[in-house]
Amino acid sequence: MVTASGSSAPVLSSAASSNSAPAPSSTTSPNDRYLAYCGDGSTSAGWPSTSEWQSFDYLFTSNTPSMKIACDTWGVPNDSPREIASLRSAILSVANLTSIDARFILAIIMQESSGCVRVITTAWSHTNPGLMQSFNGTGTCNLNSANINIPGVDASGKIWTPCPAERIEQQVLDGTNGTIWGPGLRQDFEIANANATDEAQAYYRTARIYNGGRFVASDLSQPCCTTSYVSDIANRLMGWVHAPREFVCG
């Protein structure tokens, strides 16, 4: 791995980015920092191994404050304690069903929706609903496709408040196990795991496929779409929540 500075180690973030996770400006944990991970996702290139990832309980607890305010972005009611508890149970249940690491599922959720159970549906070549912005999934608690606080937006789509536990689990299942229309993390992992040097690299490749449809083995910031996506996921797995992001690879 080579960073923009020419160093062979990840770069500690020191400047704010407009793409940083929405959160308070201060950090309280030594694990809440951002390193720019570059290259192929291997531990030999400086990427963290799965044994270095924080525990699921640690990561979920660290991200809970962000979940509590995440829905502000879309102008809908924020997650309740019961909904957050349902999300935790759903992640663990789906992880057990699919054999995808619960920590990785959580990291993808925080990347895609910040844990808002009433996140909007986005659409490009297909719709992306729910916590994981899945491939034409059925799981959602918000049928709107835009922030309902935007003047002139038709916000006639149903919003579920509270979001039932079964709908929360369906959102997680759609993103992880895939849908009849397209793949989820499980199918992406099967592709990513071919010739991977270790399990962590397979997961990082999976993140790139999930974000952009495919991966370039030598550079997980390519070929599209959010260049920092895989580095973001690696950082989330290590405990990043609020620290400023500075992603520069070259």
pLDDT reported for residue 13: 29
Q: Pick the closest to residue 177 from 109, 99, 60, 108 (CA basis).
A: 99
The per-residue DSSP string of 216-237 comes to BTTBTT-SSS-TTHHHHHHHHH
pLDDT reported for residue 157: 85
pLDDT reported for residue 9: 32
pLDDT reported for residue 112: 96
Residue ranges of the chain with per-residue pLDDT less than 70: 1-28, 147-155
pLDDT reported for residue 153: 56
**Could you give the domains of the chain?**
11-238 (1.10.530)
pLDDT reported for residue 139: 95
pLDDT reported for residue 250: 73
Please give the single-letter amino acid code of residue 6. G
Q: State pLDDT tens for residues 140-198.
A: 999 888 766 666 555 678 999 999 999 999 999 999 999 999 999 999 999 999 999 99
pLDDT reported for residue 149: 64
pLDDT reported for residue 28: 59
